[in-house]
Amino acid sequence: MDVRLEPWSDSRLGLLRRINTPLMRRHVGGPETPEQLLLRHRRYLELPSRGGVMYAVLVDGEEAGSIAHHRREWRGAEIHETGWNVLPEFQGRGVALAAGRAMLTALRALVAADATAPGVLHAFPAVDNAPSNALCARLGFTDDGPCAFEYPQRSGRFLHSNDWHLALR
């Protein structure tokens, strides 16, 4: 199985629509409206200008999901945050683990080249999202326990999440 990451592009709107289902979005508040989805797509395209990258996850050349890292403030400090989605037909095959490792390799290279970049990566999966919490552990993150995590950022809506962190340097 060949798992590759490609930076997000205009051609990935269809993938974002495939991710926007009740099943795929159950841990983050449910599907978004078509208008919200277009805004999200634009934000993904703009991430590189704000120190982040959204990637399409490809398995043997086929779209299988997405994974990202971006900068944000958390508890008074600038951090990198990550999140991911793997389409149901690709789940249980090690795709998220391979994508996570590839993203970590790319992010560590960026951090090594920029002494001002945050040196820690956080993930905030819902406490009841067992696969994502297990993935954090397999990738070497440390669980700081439950927290109230605002998602989307500046929305005023808080999720009951676990706060996982991983040193990048």
* pTM for this prediction: 0.95
Tokens of 167: 């040193």
- Residue 140: the pLDDT is 98
Output the average pLDDT for the chain.
Answer: 96
Sheet with 53-59, side-by-side order of all strands: 3-7, 53-59, 62-74, 77-86, 120-123, 158-167, 142-150
When mean pLDDT is compared across 98-107, 116-125, 150-159, the lowest value belongs to: 150-159
Stretch 149-157: mean pLDDT: 84
Give the pLDDT mean for 129-138: 97
The whole-angstrom separation of Cα 63 and Cα 15 is 7
Give the pLDDT confidence of 14-52 residue by residue, as tens digits.
999 999 999 999 999 899 999 999 999 999 999 999 889
Say what percent of the chain tops pLDDT 70. Answer: 100
> Which pLDDT tens digit goes with each residue over 5-17?
999 999 999 999 9
pLDDT, mean of residues 134-155: 93
